Structure 1
Amino acid sequence: MTRNFDHAHDFHIDSFQVFNVHPSADPLNKLEGRVAVGAIHDSAERCDAPKCHPETRVALQGELYSWIVHGDGESQHPVKMKWVTGPAGSGKTAIMGSLAKRCAANGILGASFFFASWSASIARRRKTALVTTIAHQLTRYSHVFRDEIFKAIEANPDVFDKNLHVQMETLVLTPLREVAGRTDGPGLLGVIIIDGLDECEAEQFHDAAPTRLGAKLAQPRTNEQDQLEILQVLHRAASDPVFPFRILVASRPERVFREFFDLEGNSTPFPPKLDLNKDNNANADITLFMEAHFSRIRRRYNLPPSWPPSGAIHTLVENASQQFIYAAAVIQFLDTDHREPPEALLETILKMSAKRTTTSNPLEPLDVLYRHILESSPDPPLSIRWIHIIKQLNNSMFSPASNIRLLLQTDPESSEAEHLFGNLHSLIRVPPRSNQATAGYGFYHKSLLDFLQDPDRCGSLYVGSSELSVFIWDRFTRACVRVCDTTRFSYPQTFHQFLFNIPVFLNMSEGIAHSSVLPTPASVDWWVSSAISENGGTHLWKMFWSVHRSVRPDPFEALG
């Protein structure tokens, strides 16, 4: 196997960023090489991100915009930081996206960063590129500030390998101090918007085996630890008198955020949080959203003015329970499910509403809708396994749709993916076949993954971790066998690289233990030769352990 990336640097593949900047690069190139482009509010990756419909969430956006410009009449040295929170589906990302657009248009958006746990971009799921992405956006404010950031990079060429506290101090606060009070200073004012911080996943270093510290074994970092680190870095910046920006952080009300923003637990007061779950105008806004989209669908399909029937929108708004995600999911379902006309699809949704049980769970209507759509797949259990694996692989490595298809399909030349996902386009972003070599599968909202991971919500559709481990091991092993047979189908080199890295990122030991599928001698040869030709080093032994170790006695007798 030839190596395609010898001496490569400063490159990225679609949304997968490779942080390997050439030492001779100038400061701008060094900084650009560390930016999570897809996390910025107006990036191409966020073109389908939820947005507030015009005339909805107006009061909320107005309140936040007023705070950005005028503040809350705080003390002389306020902590310029506010928390926007609400449960899944309450519209946090839509509000932050629309607010970022408004601030950018008015010249007061310092920077934005939209985390997304479902994204194929590692940089959008982890903390690594947060400060550098903020710093890069701040270079556009003025040439004076930009020059100071570049000087900081030249003076500290290893800053990109430092922790977030050092990066914030070096790339943002120190340059701000240099320009503060200068007559040619930029006069900075505005906001930094951080959305979806609860979706930030812990940075793990796969090459670092656990080590014993005293009598305890070192544990991997948790998501909450990295989220708290980010909150502390932002709080430190917002508390600095030289820092001119306000900071908006949006997240679900998870414990790490509740404790951090607890007024009684902080010596320095925070501005009050904005809780979207207590927004009394949500139903009115959802009604406006529904009416506008039903009007558009009615025009698109030339439906009569009497559609939707009287009371339908009121029923749907009641079902939403102030959760915008339900309204968005209904519209997405009516817009993209072309098996039946919109009238029949709406009637189906209204029949679901009539069967609704009395429950305190505001997400029950959404769960019923998700269950109905997933069960419309020709093979719901298999489709759901695909969804779980896409999520895992998107979280671990660059996984374009073409590689996912080649891995999971039983026949590489079949249309199994199209068959499985044909009725699920209202839940899953499926790139066109012509673009699948670079674009990945995606999800319209994290709430789908929350639904599938909770057996109390998805019921019979639930797939446990052991079943998923067996499934990915079976498909992975069969793919290893197939790549050895070049007489029938020639796999692209990118798929070889993709397959080689799977054991490094996924723990398949449980699947190995319970699966009846074992490697063949040919696939073993392919793995060893691939690892050697790729200069796998420690990865060779990790691969060998992942692929060949089993709790069963002498599992490789079958290999001969």
Structure 2
Amino acid sequence: MDTLVLVPLREIAGRPGGPNLRGVIIIDGLDECEAEQYHDTTSTGTRAKLTRTSSQDQLEILRVLQAAASDPSFPFRIIIASRPERVFREFFDPEKEPTSFAHKLDLHEDYNANADITLFLEAQFNQIRRRYQLSLSWPPPGAIQTLVGNASGQFVYAATVIRFLDMGHREPPKALLEAILKVQVTKKPTSNPLEQLDALYTHILESSPDPPLSVRWIRSIHSIHDGNHINAQLLVAFNINLLLQTDPESSEVEHLLGNLHSLVRIPPPSNQAATRYDFYHKSLFDYLGDPHRCGNLHVEWSDVRVFIWNAFVRACAREFLSASIFVLQDKSKSDAMIQGGCENQSSSPQSFLEFLIRLPTLRNMASSSAHSEVLPTPASADWWASLATAEVNRSGCLWAMFKEVHRFVSAALNLFQPFH
């Protein structure tokens, strides 16, 4: 920060007639910043353990921003938006920081969220009414007030309701709104301030033809995206679909997630080869991760891992059956393959094969936790070896090929040995 930012700003500030810099830096969702984790598969013991947490990274960011804001040459104001997690509460606590450098605005206490939510809902309902040519009497009297009360100051509730009414659902908005207004929260005593949001999430997820399977898809997509060890360009919806669908020719994704557009940003079919799935709000995974909140829709993380590994093994076997495996018959063919490489004969796009071969390297799919209900076959191993050989650096280096095979193939297949 000092060398790259503050020193140049000090030099500019010291020049006569220098530019009069002004501006605001806005950082939204700092609580969602997570520590970058790297798994060293060659290390054991304490060195192999993760040494940083997300809160430590967030605290470091806050201290860097504090140092910048406290420097007289720094011309920018900084606005940080975050959930009130412990690291932020303690950092901005005026009792611990008597000469506080920041002003805190608590949106739960100092901000009339209901007024803004009401304004938002009125504007959105007007748009929906015009788009679908609904009666001027829609929504019915009291509907907006009910939704504002249900939101309890949480804007995500109102935004989810509007997406549910307006994004690709098979039923008309009028019927969908009636269903939302009839949603009942649990009658058990609870201190959960998000019970209305939870009830809405439950209602939307249960509109899927197979809610438990839909939840497995959603959590698997989120887990794969969060893995950190796969090139972002490989994490497109097309590759995810090929992996998770039991039949690559089916439209399983539309069948399962077609009613869930208010929760998942699903790319149109024409753009799925270049666009990722996305999720509108982190609160969905807070809900799905808590069995007390999502009830029968809860899926254990161990079951999600098994679901992904099953898909991985199934894809390996499927790719082998559709491939024409290059068979080494003599030394001349072996030398030619090592020096010039061999073209992949799979029917799937190359990007999917690259995505598949890197899947076992996901940080949250470590080999120590791997388990599949479907064991890989020898044919799968042959296919993996063929693919790894074809994709190796074409420098003719046999050692590079050996490392490539062992890095991906052994990690992908040998980890299942304990379950034979």
Question: TM-score when scaled to structure 1?
Answer: 0.64
Q: Which residue of 2 aligns with 1:473?
A: 309
Match of 2:35 among 202, 213, 233: 202
In the other structure, the counterpart of 2:271 is 435
Residues in 1 aligned to 2:223 and 2:383: alpha-carbon distance in whole angstroms: 24
How much does 1:267 deviate? Answer: 5.8
CA positional deviation for 1:212: 5.6
2:166 is equivalent to residue 335 of structure 1: yes
Corresponding residue for residue 507 of structure 1:
365
Going from structure 1 to structure 2, the CA distance change for 1:353 and 1:307 (only over 3 Å counts) comes to: farther
Structure 1 counterpart of 2:410: 544
User: Could you say what secondary structure the match of 2:365 adopts?
Assistant: coil
Matched to 1:451, the amino acid is Y
Shift of 1:210: 4.6
In the other structure, the counterpart of 1:523 is 380
Q: Secondary structure at the match of 1:242?
A: coil
Amino acid at match of 1:545: A
Alignment partners' CA distance in 2, 1:208 and 1:487: 30
Please report how far the alpha carbon of residue 183 of structure 1 lies from its aligned counterpart in structure 2 after TM superposition: 2.4
Letter in 1 for 2:141: S
Instruction: Give the distance between the partners of 2:194 and 2:405, measured in 1 at CA.
Output: 43
1:312 is aligned to 143
The verdict on how the C-alpha distance between 1:228 and 1:539 changes in structure 2, with shifts beyond 3 A counting, is farther
Equivalent position amino acid for 1:341 in 2: P
Deviations 1:19-51 (A, max 9, x none): xxxxxxxxxxxxxxxxxxxxxxxxxxxxxxxxx
1:433 and 1:545 map into 2 onto residues whose CA distance is: 33
**1:494 and 2:330 are equivalent in the alignment:** no
Residue 129 of structure 2 aligns to a residue in which SS?
Answer: helix
**Structure-2 separation of matches of 1:356 and 1:319:** 15
Are the equivalent residues in 2 in contact too, given 1:508–1:546 (CA < 8 A)?
no
The one of 261, 274, 283 aligned to 1:425: 261
TM-score norm. by structure 2 comes to 0.85
Percent of matched pairs sharing the same residue: 60
| DSSP 3-state at the match of 2:26 | strand
Tell me: CA distance 1:178–1:274, structure 2 relative to 1, closer, same or farther (3 Å). Answer: same
After TM superposition, list the pairs within 5 Å mapping 1:249-260 onto structure 2. Answer: 249-260=80-91
CA distance in 1, matches of 2:106, 2:412: 45
Provide the C-alpha distance between the structure 2 equivalents of 1:184 and 1:400, rounded to a whole number of angstroms. Answer: 50
Q: Offset of 1:546 from its aligned partner?
A: 4.5
Residue of structure 2 aligned with 1:349, choices 173, 180, 191: 180
Deviations 1:144-164 (A, max 9, x none): xxxxxxxxxxxxxxxxxxxxx
SS in 2 for 1:249: strand
Are residues 1:464 and 2:325 paired?
no
User: Partner residue of 1:39?
Assistant: none
Q: Does 1:402 find its partner at 2:238?
A: yes
CA RMSD of aligned residues (A): 2.4
Shift of 1:276: 0.7
Is 2:205 the counterpart of 1:374?
A: yes
Contact 2:39–2:48 (8 Å) recurs in 1: no
Aligned residue identity for 1:199: E
1:183-222 aligned within 5 A: 183-207=16-40, 209-210=42-43, 218-222=49-53
Post-superposition CA distance 1:89-121 (Å, at most 9, x none): xxxxxxxxxxxxxxxxxxxxxxxxxxxxxxxxx
Paired residue type of 2:266: V
- Greater shift in the superposed pair: 287-296 or 216-225: 216-225
Which letter does structure 2 place at the counterpart of 1:503? P
Name the aligned partner's letter for residue 526 of structure 1. Answer: W
Q: Deviations over 1:167-220 (max 9, x none)?
A: x2222112112212212422111211111111111112234755667xx87533
- Aligned equivalents of 1:476, 1:389: Cα separation in 2: 12
Q: How many residue pairs are counted as aligned between the two chains? A: 384
Assess if the C-alpha contact under 8 Å between 1:469 and 1:508 holds in 2: no
**Distance (whole Å) between structure 2 residues aligned to residue 337 and residue 196 of structure 1:** 28
Question: What amino acid does structure 2 have at the position aligned with 1:483?
Answer: E
Task: Give the whole-Å Cα distance in 2 for the aligned partners of 1:394 and 1:320.
Answer: 29
Q: Do the aligned partners of residues 512 and 243 (structure 1) sit closer, same or farther apart at CA in structure 2, a change above 3 Å counting?
A: closer
Matches of 1:277 and 1:551, distance apart in 2: 53
- Bigger RCO (CA 8 Å, 6+ sep): 1
> What is the CA-CA distance between 1:531 and the residue it aligns to?
3.7
Q: Is the Cα–Cα contact under 8 Å of residues 512 and 547 in structure 1 kept in the other structure?
A: no
Gaps of 5+ in 2: 325-345, 393-399
Q: Secondary structure at the match of 2:146?
A: helix
Check if 1:177 corresponds to 2:10: yes
Distance 1:381 1:457, change over 3 A: same
On the 8 A contact 1:507/1:546 being kept in 2, the answer is no
Shift of residue 502 of structure 1?
Answer: 0.7
| Structure label with greater radius of gyration | 2
Q: Which moved more, 1:189-198 or 1:203-212?
A: 203-212
Amino acid at match of 2:37: Q
Amino acid at match of 1:170: T
- Pick aligned residue for 1:303 from 134, 146, 167: 134
Are the counterparts in 1 of residues 205 and 211 from structure 2 also a CA contact under 8 Å? yes
Please say if residues 37 and 50 of structure 2, whose CA atoms lie closer than 8 Å, have aligned partners that are also in contact.
no
Quote the offset at 1:540 in angstroms.
Answer: 3.1
CA-CA distance at 1:280 after TM superposition: 4.6
Going from structure 1 to structure 2, the CA distance change for 1:516 and 1:326 (only over 3 Å counts) comes to: closer
Local SS of the residue matching 2:81: strand
Residues 269/355 of structure 1: CA separation in 2 closer, same or farther (3 Å cut):
closer
Cα distance, 1:337–1:541 mapped onto 2, change above 3 Å: closer
**In structure 2, what is the Cα distance between the partners aligned to 1:211 and 1:261?**
38
2:318 partner SS: helix
The DSSP-based 3-state class of the residue aligned with 1:263 is coil
- Match of 1:522, as an amino acid? A
